[in-house]
Amino acid sequence: MSIRRKAAIALLGVAGVIAAVVVSVAAAGSSSNGPPQLRVYGGGNVGAGHCTDGPNVFCSDALREFSLLAIRDPNENVTYGSFIGADGRLVRVTCIAVSGNVAEVGGVIVSNPDPSIVGGPSWTFFRDSGQPGSDQRDGISPTFFDLPPAKPTCSKSDAASDAFGDGFFPLTNGDISIQNLISQNG
């Protein structure tokens, strides 16, 4: 195994641990007093050789691991968080839109193996299919990119688009949660 591959695997492991801690802290605060929030969080993987379930079928020959924490505070009009993708890409979350059980999460690419897209926008869709262990698997879409200086935007109509027609990879392992906390007052 090459040093670069070992470093990438180690980076994903560290990122997964950090994401788990951050998600635990975010989830633990859901019953405290605080502003309303929209939260999308989770992590997992899709095994090699899986395809999306949309009309524009997309298949991947690689293991796709990810971790995500995205929070929107509508009172302060602020969105923040991070998304770490399978190839070591790091996205600073700047927008979230939800339609039903699907969230579109967009942001700015801050680190990527291909430096030409650093600073550009990225969008990924996440499907929350219910409680962990249910028959329906949560899902993640392919990730969409644009080149700088384009800016990320998220909309409810995009979230309702079945990931622009590409659909979702069912998670092999992991869980995604979409929470709309209207009131955190106990």
* Interval 88-100: pLDDT, tens: 899 999 999 999 9
Q: What is the pLDDT of residue 26?
A: 47
Residue 163 Ramachandran class (φ > 0 left, ψ -120 to 50 alpha, else beta): left
Write the burial class of residue 145 (CB in 10 Å: 0-12 exposed, 13-18 middle, 19+ buried). Answer: middle
Domain-located, residue 186: no
Q: What is the pLDDT of residue 58?
A: 92
Helix (H) or strand (E) holding 123: strand 121-127
Domain-located, residue 67: yes
Write the burial class of residue 178 (CB in 10 Å: 0-12 exposed, 13-18 middle, 19+ buried). Answer: buried
Domain-located, residue 45: yes
Q: What is the pLDDT of residue 186?
A: 45
φ/ψ of 179, rounded to 5, equals -120, 130
Q: What is the pLDDT of residue 122?
A: 95
Number of domains comprising the chain: 1
CA–CA gap between residue 84 and residue 111 (Å, rounded): 9
CA–CA gap between residue 135 and residue 124 (Å, rounded): 23
Calculate the CA 82 to chain-centre distance.
Answer: 8
φ/ψ of 110, rounded to 5, equals -105, -15
CA–CA gap between residue 142 and residue 30 (Å, rounded): 29
Question: Can you list the residues of the chain whose pLDDT is less than 50?
Answer: 5-31, 186
Domain-located, residue 129: yes
Q: What is the pLDDT of residue 184?
A: 57
CA–CA gap between residue 20 and residue 1 (Å, rounded): 27
- Residue 174: name the closest of 45, 27, 9 by CA: 45
Domain span holding position 138? 3-181
Domain-located, residue 11: yes
| Tokens coding 140 | 């993640």
| Tokens coding 170 | 């069912």
Handedness of CA 109, 42, 123, 169 (dihedral sign): positive
Domain-located, residue 165: yes
Domain-located, residue 168: yes
Domain-located, residue 93: yes
φ/ψ of 115, rounded to 5, equals -65, -15
